[in-house]
């Protein structure tokens, strides 16, 4: 009996599985992925980033319990050292507390606040070490070696604020800008609106 050699070594079922390009039908090597969910996620991410984008950086360290005065006219602040004074008299420099309850020392004959003066002098030395004499080429209102933003709560006594301003002047920061809230936004409470309508 003669032995017959088969042309194809695989079974007929293998050829009908669409793995080969001939009679079984061609199977494409392309892989299709549903990208709808990916596009949706990327859209949400881009919208979130655009909404939270701030090109000018952090200008002020505003705590939730600080109520600053408001003004309808003014200019945008620039990034210079920030000194904050809250209603209980805590003094902050760049968001870090320097002196607790500054109001308790209101009877001091010396108006100078040594901790604040040291921080201001150290800030100037850091800027000069990093930036060289870039301050000479800057707009005087943007010079971080002579300009400071002071943020004060409404309820702080002027005698305490006066000590802060005096210390800034002693440290060589003669350009003092008091930061205020935007009075054009209409941050009135319901009670204030009711009283304004009643009058």
pLDDT of residue 1: 59
Confidence of residue 198 (pLDDT cuts 50, 70, 90): very low
Q: How far is CA 98 from CA 14, 85, 93, in A?
A: 81, 10, 7
pTM of the model: 0.60
Q: How far apart are CA 143 and CA 124, in angstroms?
A: 10
- b/e map 153-175, b = 16+ CB within 10 Å: beebeeebbebbbbbbebbebee
Most confident of 7-16, 37-46, 136-145, 147-156: 37-46
Instruction: Answer yes or no: is pLDDT of 40 > 90.
Output: yes
> Do residues 186 and 159 touch, judged by C-beta distance below 8 A?
no
pLDDT at 193 over 80: no
> Residue 60: which pLDDT band, with cuts at 50, 70 and 90?
low
152 bridge partner residues: 85
């Amino acid at each position: 009996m003669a032995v017959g050699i088969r042309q194809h070594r695989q079974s007929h079922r293998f050829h009908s599985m669409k793995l080969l390009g001939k009679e079984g039908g061609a199977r494409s090597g392309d892989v299709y992925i549903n990208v709808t969910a990916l596009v949706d996620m990327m859209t949400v991410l881009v919208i979130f980033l655009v909404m939270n984008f701030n090109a000018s950086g952090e200008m002020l360290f505003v705590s939730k319990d600080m109520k600053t005065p408001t003004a309808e006219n003014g200019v945008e602040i620039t990034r210079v050292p920030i000194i904050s004074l809250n209603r209980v008299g805590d003094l902050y420099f760049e968001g870090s507390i320097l002196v607790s309850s500054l109001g308790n020392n209101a009877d001091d004959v010396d108006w100078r606040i040594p901790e604040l003066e040291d921080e201001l002098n150290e800030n100037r030395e850091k800027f000069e070490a990093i930036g060289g004499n870039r301050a000479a080429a800057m707009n005087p209102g943007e010079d971080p070696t002579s300009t400071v933003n002071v943020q004060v709560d409404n309820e702080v006594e002027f005698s305490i604020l006066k000590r802060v301003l005096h210390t800034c002047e002693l440290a060589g920061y003669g350009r003092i800008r008091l930061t205020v809230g935007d009075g054009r936004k209409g941050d009135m409470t319901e009670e204030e609106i009711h009283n304004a309508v009643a009058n």
